[in-house]
Amino acid sequence: MLILAIETSCDETACAIVKDGVEVLSNVINSQISVHQQFGGVVPEVASRHHIENIRNVVCEAICQANVSLDDIDAVAVANSPGLVGALLVGVSYAKGLAFGLNVPLIPVNHINAHICANFIAHRELCPPFICLVASGGHSHIVNVRGYTDFEVIARTRDDAAGEAYDKVARILGLGYPGGPAVAKRAENGDENFLKLPRVKMVGSFDFSFSGVKTAVINYVHGCVQRSEELRIDDICASFQLAVNEALCQHLIDVAIERNIDTIALAGGVASNAKLRELAEKFANENGLKFYCPPLNLCTDNAAMIGCLGYYNLQAGITADMSLNAIASV
Binding residues for ligand KG4, rule: CB under 6 A, are 10, 136-138, 163, 166-167, 178-181, 184, 268-270, 272-273, 300-301
Pick the closest to residue 306 from 70, 52, 58, 125 (CA basis): 58
From first CA to last CA, the distance across the chain in angstroms is 28
Positions 43 through 82 that interact with Zn ion (CB under 5 A): none
> Nearest distance from residue 181's CB to ligand KG4, in Å?
5
Closest approach of Cβ 288 to ligand KG4, in Å?
27
Minimum CB distance to ligand KG4, residue 268 (Å): 4
166 binds, among ligand KG4, Zn ion, none (CB under 5 to 8 A by kind): ligand KG4
C-beta closer to Zn ion: residue 173 or 265? 265
Q: Is 146 helix (H, G, I), strand (E, B) or coil?
A: strand
273 binds, among ligand KG4, Zn ion, none (CB under 5 to 8 A by kind): ligand KG4
- Choose between 86 and 190: whose C-beta lies nearer to Zn ion: 86
CB of 268 to Zn ion, least distance (A): 6
Of the pair 21, 82, the CB lying nearest Zn ion is at 82
CA distance 93 to 96: 5
Q: Compute the distance between CA of residue 291 and CA of residue 280 in angstroms, rounded to an integer.
A: 8
Residues 249 to 308 in contact with Zn ion, rule: CB under 5 A: 301
Q: How far is it, in rounded angstroms, from Cα 292 to Cα 274? A: 14
- 42-50 contacts: CB < 8 A, separation 24 or more? 42/10, 42/11, 42/84, 44/84, 44/86, 44/87, 45/86, 47/10, 47/11, 47/84, 47/86, 47/87, 48/84, 48/86, 48/87, 48/89, 48/90, 50/11, 50/13
- Report the nearest approach of ligand KG4 to the CB of residue 130 (Å): 19
Pick 2 or 36: Cβ nearer ligand KG4: 36
Residue 140 near Zn ion by CB under 5 A: no
Q: Does 136 bind Zn ion (CB under 5 A)?
A: yes
Cα R_g (the chain), whole angstroms: 20
Q: Residue 70: how many CA atoms within 13 Å on its side-chain side?
A: 12
CB of 15 to ligand KG4, least distance (A): 16
Residues engaged in binding Zn ion (CB under 5 A):
136, 301
